[in-house]
A = this chain, B = another copy of it.
Amino acid sequence: MTLFDGADEAGGTTAGPAVCKLVVAYDGAGFRGFAAQPDQRTVAGVLAHGIEKVLRHPVELTGAGRTDAGVHAWGQVVSFDALPGLDPDRLMASLNAMLGPEVVVRAADLVPAGFDARRSAHWREYRYTVCNRRVADPFLARTSWHVPAPLDVRALRLAADPFVGEHDFASFCRKGPEGTTTVRRVLRSSWVEIGDGLLVYEVRATAFCQQMVRAIVGTLVDVGLGRRRPGEMLGILRGRDRDLAGPLAPPEGLCLREVGYRP
């Protein structure tokens, strides 16, 4: 730690073991999701390729959230082991010149060894934007779900409340491998009215299972349209059956907004 601290004072370069932490924003439209996959254009794939080009050595990236195909991020956090001499400011500038504006590094720092973007994360916050206007908006189409029929905002709010707390979210998750838990702790679940028909669902949890936010939003919008009652949410949670909940909301409305770490 002494070496690292000293290096920090010297302006962000280090001679000892450290981890490079990046805060990354991206437009998810052109990607098959965040996680690297062979023969697919993914955010992690493009980012790793860029980092390797700048640093001239292979890197293994860890991301805080595995966003699905088409899902955006404003505050995705990515980490990898830094070799001595890494200059995070230079790396950030090179990556932004190479990958921006589709993928943009908003911050780059060296942090003590042991930091892991995924395992060290304390919470993740997603935002889902619904454009509730009769007529679509060409400039919001890439980042929101256009719902033309009027939504009952009071019902949306009532329905969002029961998700707070620790629950088994099996009804709102894509089935994972046998034996994986779908219990998650939601810290916040609420709708914000931006005005002009824009509604944003903000949900913060210690972790999410796959497609969880989109399944919750699809079900909440069913409530907003009068197809379900707010009181049904708890029963759907307790049923632990994906068929009980509503359809998946489309990916373009979803954005990984922020990841929280202990100070």
Contacts and interface: CB of A to CB of B under 8 A. Distances in A.
A26 interface: yes
A101 B131 CA distance: 12
Contact of A96 (B106, B136, B139, B142): B136
Contacts of A96: 135-136
Interface in A130-151: 135-139, 141-143, 146
A138 B105 contact: no
Contacts of A142: 142
Nearest to A96: B135
Interface residues of A, number: 23
Contact of A104 (B25, B104, B105, B138): B138
A103 interface: yes
A173 to B, nearest CB: 27
Interface in A71-108: 72, 74, 92, 96, 100-106
B26 A138 contact: yes
A174 B4 CA distance: 57
B146 A101 contact: yes
A27 interface: yes
Given A25-B138, A27-B141, 14 more contacts: A25-B137, A25-B139, A26-B138, A27-B139, A72-B138, A74-B139, A92-B135, A100-B141, A101-B146, A102-B138, A104-B135, A104-B136, A105-B135, A106-B135
